[in-house]
Amino acid sequence: MKMSFRWYGEGNDSVSLADIKQIPNVTEIVWALHSKQPGEIWENDEIAAVKAQLDEYGFGMSVVESVNVHDDIKTAGKNRDLYIENYIKTLRNLSKFGVKVVCYNFMPVFDWTRTDLFHPLPDGSTALYYEKSKIKQDPSEMAEYILTNTKGYTMPGWESERLAHLKELFEVYSHVSKEQLWENLFYFLRALMPVCNECGIKMAIHPDDPPWDIFGLPRLIIDEASIERLLTAVDDPCNALTLCSGSLGANPDNDIPHIVRRFCDRIAFAHIRNVKHYDNGDFSEVSHRDADGDVGIIDIIRAYHDGGFDGYIRPDHGRHIWNEKCRPGYGLYDRALGIMYINGAWEMLDRLDGGKK
Ligand code: CS2
Ligand code: MN
């Protein structure tokens, strides 16, 4: 596995590259041009500017999270082919700089959804939290809450420009059934696969978070069966997964270690996050330690190790600890602790296997 860390870019993150350099074993930065709107082309000079910053610290830039997909592609809107063309140009440009994996999602309207960004945990830290009873039919209250509580940080998938048109977006999606959304995803991927093969880029879809329909919007990548459908419908090694243990793990019925074992050769990018479930359907993000949550972190790491996983891995969200002021879920300290937990488990498994010392 190749350890990575998500970084939002110069002037857009409370964490610096110099900070990240001191976390043992991190060799890759998971990056993006966060100022880009879905559908815009990422130009060579913009990518080169990030490369220069990462080069200074000796970091690779193999993984982008995310090149977001325009709503016209998701809804088969009138400009979908144009936006697919733009996406292809972006992929070609990224490949010139050594990008190997592009993480993306196909969630309608919203990216991940939480009702509380700074929920207090018993130990005095705070974490992202989902309170089931707060998810009503009308999403505007929650969108308003998210947009006004990010402590000044942008949140990918929650672009105020897009969400200013929430009503129109919902109106457009009201005509898209789950089956049509699947078809639109396949259409997108089939158009991309020849270019991906040519450029050596894997399209790694991120599961829907939470993994069930919300606000009447269909959600696709939610469990083992839906992953199987995706991978068989477009059976190409470049049609790959970002396996996020936290997103899928919000549903207690998802057996993540089993899913990792089953699809290991199609996982290009692993997100490791732990989640604690409550009987009433609420869930909280927690530390990466196995015993602090329910997703089976140790069994997940073991599944990757047994599968000989040599893709990219990163800690997903962390808690907010030690009074850190940071973007929700994306502070330095708890994610660094998560990395050391994963490093420790991995090295021990290497040792037990009699492999690398
Ligand atoms: C991320 C997602 O913060 C997160 O949970 O894992 O927001 C992810 O970046 C996107 O869904 C990928 O497109
Ligand atoms: Mn994730």
Is the pLDDT at 319 greater than 90? The verdict is: yes
Ligand 1 pocket, residue 285 CB under 6 Å: no
Ligand 1 pocket, residue 113 CB under 6 Å: no
Q: Which residue out of 8, 312, 330, 341 is catalytically annotated?
A: 330
Is the pLDDT at 258 greater than 60? The verdict is: yes
Q: What is the pLDDT of residues 33-49, one digit of tens each?
A: 999 999 999 999 999 99
Query: Which is more confident, 81 or 161?
Result: 81
Residue ranges and CATH numbers for the domains of the chain are: 2-352 (3.20.20.150)
How much of the chain, in percent, has pLDDT values that exceed 90? 86
Is the pLDDT at 85 greater than 80? The verdict is: yes
Gap between the terminal Cα atoms of the chain: 15
pLDDT at 155: 84
pLDDT at 357: 47
H or E segment at 6?
A: strand 2-6
Is residue 70 annotated as part of the catalytic site, yes or no? no
pLDDT, average across residues 180-200: 98
Q: Is 54 helix (H, G, I), strand (E, B) or coil?
A: helix
Is the pLDDT at 278 greater than 90? The verdict is: yes
Lowest mean pLDDT among 98-107, 138-147, 314-323: 138-147
Separation of 356 CA from ligand 1 center, angstroms? 32
For the CA of 271, the closest atom of ligand 1 is 6
Ligand 1 pocket, residue 250 CB under 6 Å: no
306 burial level (CB within 10 Å; 0-12, 13-18, 19+): middle
Mean pLDDT for all residues in the chain: 95
Residue among 129, 209, 316 to mutate when testing ligand 1 (max atoms within 8 A of CB): 209
Q: Which residue out of 103, 199, 244, 264 is catalytically annotated?
A: 244
Separation of 299 CA from ligand 1 center, angstroms? 22
pLDDT at 91: 98
pLDDT, average across residues 299-322: 98
Rounded to whole angstroms, the Cα distance separating 129 from 158 reads 17
Q: What is the pLDDT of residues 130-166, one digit of tens each?
A: 999 888 777 888 888 888 888 888 888 888 888 888 8
Whose CA is closest to atom 6 on ligand 1? 316
pLDDT at 324: 97
Is the pLDDT at 182 greater than 80? The verdict is: yes
Task: Give the global pTM.
Answer: 0.96
Amino acid, res. 187? Y
Ligand 1 pocket, residue 103 CB under 6 Å: yes
How much of the chain, in percent, has pLDDT values that exceed 70? 99
pLDDT at 148: 87
How are strands ordered across the β-sheet holding 283-286? Answer: 116-120, 126-130, 283-286, 274-277
pLDDT at 356: 54
HSE, side-chain direction, 13 A CA sphere, residue 133: 3
Cite the DSSP H helix spans in 96-236: 140-148, 160-163, 166-173, 178-199, 224-233
pLDDT, average across residues 235-259: 98
